[in-house]
Amino acid sequence: MCLNRRINILVCPFGDLNLLTFLFELLDAKFPDKYSVTFISFMEYDKLIYSTINRDQIHISPGTREEWFDSNDLDEVCRFTLGLSRYHGILESNDYFQRVANHYGAQISKIIDSRNIDQVVLFNGRLNLFIACLDKVAERSGIPRLIFEQGLFRPLWITIDGQGVNARNSIKTSEDLHSPEPFEFQQRELYKDLLSLLPIDRDKIPDFKRKMPLFSLMRAYGSSKLRPRRDLFFRNAENEELLEAAVLSHKPKRCRQPLKTLDELRCNNDYQYILCPFQVETDTQIILHSPWISSMSQLVNVMYEVVSRLNVEGFKVKVLFKAHPMSNNAVRVSHPHAALIEDVPMPEVFRVLRPLVVTINSTAGIEAVEAGLPVITLGEAFYNLPNVILGYCDNVNSLQKLLLKFYQGEIECRPEIKLEFIQSLRSKYQVLAYQND
């Protein structure tokens, strides 16, 4: 690379548009001659938003029939979109999504080559078909990536990784965290320069959506809604949530059923509690990283079976379910050894009840580890590490056996290892992004 040439960055801020757009404004101001930043858009919505800011941008729309990915890559980049379409009952052939993915791959590759892109910045890495293609093209082309995601310690922290997020992140063993050596991506100039901008005052982050005329915003929203239902790479849960947040007031639906309060549960000393937090069924954590449980109804039935067995064995255990604040899916809970609890902050639940936590792969599992609670996972999670959690279970029988061992006192908990894990996560891996909530 020529020493005087600017570092060319390709950014797709979709997923946390306000934060990423603002960060790169700050980066330009602090390092005016160091970086050349191009934003890439794939919807009329984000194209319109970029047009309101002084930013070089490229827009991609589907249309050609070029091929770029091999069959393995296609399976990987289309997996989330295909799973989402099946969740919504759209039995579209995978060939359709693969054609669009190939088009995206070919166009992104041309942009990377023509613009001499040095690094790619994006959110999540699998949030929708376009982002999955951008991530995979960069990986296959040997272009370093920085992938943003909401933090493990919310709301002040964020995740920035060079490989992926959640189960795809750079943490493969406990030694990765505890080693004094930084991760490879943390040694890059761009990563260090971005960190020099943080933490920031959340109140100073502009709402770039609001810079658009309302009519244009509504038109872009309508354009997305009028697309064929199969075009879920434009209309996945996150896309729709972002658009509706900009245009319509939106509140998750709740199933009307009795909720147990913490005070009621605390006063009942007859039971030991298992807490099982619900997750968003259309999230990548479920569609991509939950091999044997695909819905919260299925999770409820699994826990019914397990808790019934525990009570038959003489252990008075009740499973408590907690709704996810962003989920529209209302799951009814009706079982003598189960209850749905009130919507209170997770740390308060942990403090009052001190439950064992069974989660698919939620960040609630990290919160539980931090609180010193025993945790069992049912899905792929980067924190499926020895002594950090009790164990990972990939079927009902293994879950029953592990819980029986726990309640029989046959499993030793190592709180000092949990504490070391959490401290290393905060000090080495997570990024303090905000000064205030």
What percentage of the chain exceeds 70 in pLDDT? 90
Alpha helices in 227-362 (DSSP H): 237-247, 262-267, 284-287, 296-312, 346-353
Asked if the structure places residue 131 within a domain, the reply is yes
Give yes or no: residues 194 and 322 share one domain. Answer: no
Q: What is the mean pLDDT of residues 372-398?
A: 97
CATH number at residue 347: 3.40.50.2000
Confidence of residue 209 (pLDDT cuts 50, 70, 90): confident
Q: 119 and 239: one domain? A: yes
Q: Can you tell me the mean pLDDT for 210-230?
A: 69
Instruction: Give the chain's end-to-end CA distance (angstroms, integer).
Output: 41
Q: Do 80 and 209 have their domain in common?
A: yes
Q: Does the residue 357 lie in any domain?
A: yes
Average pLDDT, the chain: 89
**Tokens 């029953």 belong to residue:** 400
Instruction: Decide which of 230 and 116 is more confident.
Output: 116
Same domain, 239 and 331: no
Residue 92, pLDDT above cutoff 90: no
Average pLDDT score over residue span 345-362: 97
* Mean pLDDT score, 56-82: 88
Task: Answer whether residue 277 shows pLDDT above 60.
Answer: yes
Q: Tell me which residue of 289, 432, 279, 283 sits closest to 365, measured CA to CA.
A: 279
Q: How many domains does the chain have?
A: 2
- Percent residues over pLDDT 90 in the chain: 72
- Rounded CA separation 261/435 (Å): 32
**From the CB of residue 250, how many other CB atoms can be counted at a distance below 10 Å?**
12
Helix (H) or strand (E) holding 424: helix 415-424
d(CA 422, CA 242): 31
Give yes or no for residue 174 having a pLDDT over 60: yes
Asked if 411 and 358 sit in the same domain, the reply is yes
* Confidence at 231, pLDDT banded by 50, 70, 90: low
- Residue 417 main-chain phi, psi, to 5 deg: -75, -40
| Tens digits of residue pLDDT in 28-54 | 999 999 999 999 988 777 788 888 888
What pLDDT was estimated at residue 250?
46
Residue 255 binned pLDDT confidence (cut-offs 50, 70, 90): low
When pLDDT is cut at 50, 70 and 90, the band that residue 223 belongs to is low
What's residue 64's pLDDT? 66
**Higher pLDDT residue, 91 or 341?**
341
Higher pLDDT, 330 or 285: 285
pLDDT at 327: 81
Same domain, 15 and 82: yes
pLDDT value at position 19? 95
* Owning domain of residue 383: 262-432
365-380 average pLDDT score: 97
Same domain, 214 and 293: no
